[in-house]
Amino acid sequence: MLTVRHHAGTSARPRWWGELLAGLALFAVYLVIEAKPLPSRELRALASGDQLLRFEQALHLDFELPMNHWLAGQGWLRTLANYEYAVTYIASALILLVWVYLRHPDDYRRVRTSFAWLNLLALLCFWLYPVAPPRMLEGAGFVDTVRLGHTVGSWGSPLVENANQLAAMPSLHVGWALWVSVMLARISGRAAVQGLSAVHVLVTLAVILATGNHYWLDAAGAVLVVAGSVMIADVARRNPDRIPASDAFFLHVETPEAPQHVGGLIMLDTSRAGTAPTHELARATISAKLAGRPEFRKQLGPRTRWRPWRWTETTDIDWDWHVPVFDLSRDGRPGGMGALHRLVAELAGQQLPRDRPLWRFCVVTGIEENVAAVASLAHHSVTDGIGMMNLMLDLFDSPDLTSALGEVRRPGRLKQLAGGIVGIAQLATDSRPQARLAVSNSSAREFGTLKVDLDWVRELARRRGVRVTDVLLSASTAAFRRVAKERLPEKMLVSVPLMAAEPRAGMAGNVTAAVMVEVPTGEMTEADRLAAIAKASTRLRTGTRAIASRFVQHTVANLMPPWFHAWFARTVYGGRFFNGTVSNMPGASWQVTFADFPLITAFPIIPIAPGTPFVVGVLGWYGCFSMSVATDPAFVDNAELFLKEFRKILDELA
């Protein structure tokens, strides 16, 4: 799998191939805007250009026309101005970005972010307020100096005829040149360098006016856009508690019907201790870790539509709410696993209040003789499933899962860049679900667990020539086919989370990415279904989609304004893009204990995505294939029946 590696203690410089991908993504935004213009763009652009010119005339500041007529008669100088217009603003911006990247890596992210915002704001203006340049206004008297001088390759020439020529406001030529000057003033103290850059800005301003490509008001608009982009980048830099976009994603998509918290259901053997774990033990365990685990002290800060989510620290922890104890026994008799499943379904269906740290550590007793449990929950904005398991292992003073994840082979940088480009194209052209599955308008859900010998499942997969994830996908698909309340479409699109960043200790935040796999649900033998799914799941191992998904979620999304990121997240995540989620995660392969309570196994608790009716998760935990399922009752109203069918299908395949 392709990964994004984070080196502790090294330069803040990001990888060059990721920056190239960011540039391609920005260009893709431009292409989207070009492909979907607002109605009557050309007519509105000409009217806007005429209005700007009339406004300048009213101010007696319409000096573009005499400058244009003077330049039109200057021969070689006219041609030189045309090339200056076409080349120098691009060259200066690229040179600055490369120079800062190589010589001032600590400043690079802020510089790059301001440049991205400069272009995003300008593109938004181009889309909403198209403006024709003076040379395109009939009857205004302007001369097109490019066509007059037959300047090859300059804007307006036949070589770039397809470029958007209705984008005069703001002037990106002045904007880029001015941005370079501002960045140099902030980073370099050399007066000669700053003076040269200032001259470039003035020359560019004169050229855009004399060539008939812009009004001076376009240059004024560029000043505002540069100021805005620099301010946005500065605000982002000054707020280290800002929640990364890949984590805030799950705050945006969460609804009352689809809470977005992850967790683990940890089964404990109480026979050695002779008693069940207590609230006091759980509180003492977490209190001892508070100093080194900021996840326990974080809560959401105030936010508006225009302000990103951010964390604030708190010491006001309601221990009775965060660490409750549930006794499932009735009349002195254990409540059984059914009662535990109903409790977990209830907890998973309740949103975590956003006015306190987004976690709970629920101790559950009275399940079965010598069996207790801990249901640990944390919002997906705090961590993902692997990170949640690491959090629990840290509480139990156990090694984390970094070693269990194994060594990840990384291709070279050029292959990663190529893979990212291919992955973006794949994501854009991937199919969509044939139909949406039944969901209810409530957070009610069914929950169940199943434990199978892990070595047996691995041997089954080996004999069939497939992977364990293929077996999980195939048996889940077939079981849903047998127990779903409504007939399934011929194919379902299943989201499969994958590791998209290199394993590391702690793993706070989200380091996974989702890849869609199309699974057949029609009439066929289970062996044929498994073979078809194994073929379809090869996309999980190419890495291209995972790296592209991670890049969009982690890098591109960080450049989006909060309101746009919220819209983006709700658009791409849920029932319109996939039918459900199936996740196969590694767990601890060693014995783990919580105080005097050995862990029997651990089952994943995974949120149901909005608009989808199911999620299936597996942890390979200490020799167990530990599986959980959560379903919307409108789709499957008996999780235990699904698990029985799942087990039957495994036996059929074996």
Average pLDDT rounded to a whole number, residues 49-53: 88
Average pLDDT rounded to a whole number, residues 489-502: 81
Average pLDDT rounded to a whole number, residues 45-67: 87
Domains 245-402 and 412-586+619-653 share a fold: yes
DSSP state of 60: T
Is residue 474 within 8 A of residue 519, CB to CB? The reply is yes
Is residue 470 within 8 A of residue 477, CB to CB? The reply is no
Say which residue, 21 or 87, is predicted with more confidence. 87
Confidence of residue 331 (pLDDT cuts 50, 70, 90): confident
Average pLDDT rounded to a whole number, residues 454-483: 95
Handedness of CA 459, 461, 465, 468 (dihedral sign): negative
pLDDT of 475 above 80: yes
The reply to whether omega before 613 is within 30° of 0 (cis) is no
Confidence of residue 255 (pLDDT cuts 50, 70, 90): very high
CA-wise closest residue to 268 among 602, 590, 585: 602
The topology under which CATH files domain 245-402 is Chloramphenicol Acetyltransferase (3.30.559)
Confidence of residue 246 (pLDDT cuts 50, 70, 90): confident
Average pLDDT rounded to a whole number, residues 138-152: 74
Residue 418: the pLDDT is: 62
**In the chain, % of residues over pLDDT 70:** 86
Among the residue ranges 23-32, 60-69, 76-85, 148-157, the one predicted with the least confidence is 148-157
How do beta strands 580-586 and 614-621 pair?
Answer: parallel
Say which residue, 41 or 604, is predicted with more confidence. 604
Among the residue ranges 454-468, 501-515, 541-555, 627-641, the one predicted with the least confidence is 501-515
C-alpha–C-alpha distance, residues 212 and 442, integer Å: 60
pLDDT of 605 above 90: yes
Q: Give the pair of three-digit tokens for residue 210.
A: 């004399």
Average pLDDT rounded to a whole number, residues 177-205: 84
Is residue 273 within 8 A of residue 332, CB to CB? The reply is no
Triad 312, 317, 320: Cα angle to 5°: 150
Average pLDDT rounded to a whole number, residues 53-61: 86
Among the residue ranges 486-490, 538-542, 611-615, 622-626, the one predicted with the least confidence is 538-542
Residue 453: the pLDDT is: 94
3-state secondary structure of 459: helix
Among the residue ranges 41-50, 105-114, 240-249, 268-277, the one predicted with the least confidence is 240-249
DSSP state of 255: B
Confidence of residue 531 (pLDDT cuts 50, 70, 90): very high
Confidence of residue 159 (pLDDT cuts 50, 70, 90): very low
Say which residue, 193 or 11, is predicted with more confidence. 193
Average pLDDT rounded to a whole number, residues 144-149: 72
Confidence of residue 3 (pLDDT cuts 50, 70, 90): very low
Q: Please report how many Cα atoms fall inside a 13 Å half-sphere around the Cα of residue 237, on the Cβ side.
A: 15
What is the residue extent of each domain of the chain?
37-238, 245-402, 412-586+619-653
**pLDDT tens for residues 410-458?**
555 555 556 666 656 656 666 788 889 999 988 899 999 999 999 999 9
Run of H or E residues at 117? helix 105-128
Question: Which residues lie across from 375 on neighbouring strands?
Answer: 265, 362
Highest-confidence segment of 10-19, 187-196, 501-510:
187-196
Confidence of residue 534 (pLDDT cuts 50, 70, 90): very high
Rounded to the nearest integer, the mean pLDDT of the chain is 83
Is residue 626 within 8 A of residue 602, CB to CB? The reply is yes
Residue 631: the pLDDT is: 96
Quickly list DSSP for 354-422: TTS-SEEEEEEEEEETTEEEEEEEEETTTB-HHHHHHHHHHHTT---THHHH-PPP---HHHHHHHHHH
CA-wise closest residue to 431 among 530, 532, 512, 515: 515
pLDDT of 32 above 80: no
- How far are the Cα atoms of 81, 196, 210 from residue 203, in angstroms, in the given order? 9, 11, 10
Q: State phi, psi for 194 to the nearest 5 degrees.
A: -65, -35
The topology under which CATH files domain 412-586+619-653 is Chloramphenicol Acetyltransferase (3.30.559)
pLDDT of 5 above 50: no
- How far are the Cα atoms of 261, 323, 386, 477, 533 from residue 284, in angstroms, in the given order? 23, 10, 24, 43, 47
Sheet with 593-594, edge to edge strand ranges? 325-327, 359-368, 371-379, 261-269, 597-605, 593-594
- How far are the Cα atoms of 37, 138, 597, 652 from residue 52, in angstroms, in the given order? 21, 14, 76, 75
Residue 141: the pLDDT is: 84
Residue 8: the pLDDT is: 36
pLDDT of 319 above 60: yes
C-alpha–C-alpha distance, residues 317 and 309, integer Å: 21
Residues written for the chain: 654
Confidence of residue 511 (pLDDT cuts 50, 70, 90): low
Residue 87: the pLDDT is: 86
pLDDT of 186 above 90: no
Q: Give the pair of three-digit tokens for residue 236.
A: 């982002």
The reply to whether omega before 259 is within 30° of 0 (cis) is no
Average pLDDT rounded to a whole number, residues 86-115: 87
Average pLDDT rounded to a whole number, residues 3-22: 58
Confidence of residue 36 (pLDDT cuts 50, 70, 90): confident
Is residue 503 within 8 A of residue 408, CB to CB? The reply is yes
Q: Give the pair of three-digit tokens for residue 151.
A: 């300047």
Residue 648: the pLDDT is: 95
- How far are the Cα atoms of 9, 19, 298, 309, 311 from residue 241, in angstroms, in the given order? 20, 23, 10, 9, 5
Residue 451: the pLDDT is: 95
CA-wise closest residue to 226 among 184, 166, 281, 254: 184
Say which amino acid occupies 155: W
Residue 37: the pLDDT is: 78
Chain centroid to CA 151: how far?
43
Say which residue, 146 or 216, is predicted with more confidence. 216
Q: Give the pair of three-digit tokens for residue 627.
A: 């599986």
Average pLDDT rounded to a whole number, residues 297-316: 81
Q: Give the pair of three-digit tokens for residue 255.
A: 């609804």
pLDDT of 326 above 90: yes
Triad 33, 39, 40: Cα angle to 5°: 110
pLDDT of 392 above 70: yes
pLDDT of 578 above 70: yes
Secondary structure of the chain: what % helix, strand, coil (to 5)?
50, 15, 35
Q: State phi, psi for 244 to the nearest 5 degrees.
A: -55, 150
Contacts of 143 (CB under 8 A, 6+ apart): 68, 69, 72, 135, 212
C-alpha–C-alpha distance, residues 60 and 459, integer Å: 85
Confidence of residue 485 (pLDDT cuts 50, 70, 90): very high
Confidence of residue 232 (pLDDT cuts 50, 70, 90): confident
Average pLDDT rounded to a whole number, residues 473-479: 95
C-alpha–C-alpha distance, residues 559 and 113, integer Å: 7
**Residue 490, exposed/middle/buried by CB under 10 A (0-12, 13-18, 19+)?**
exposed
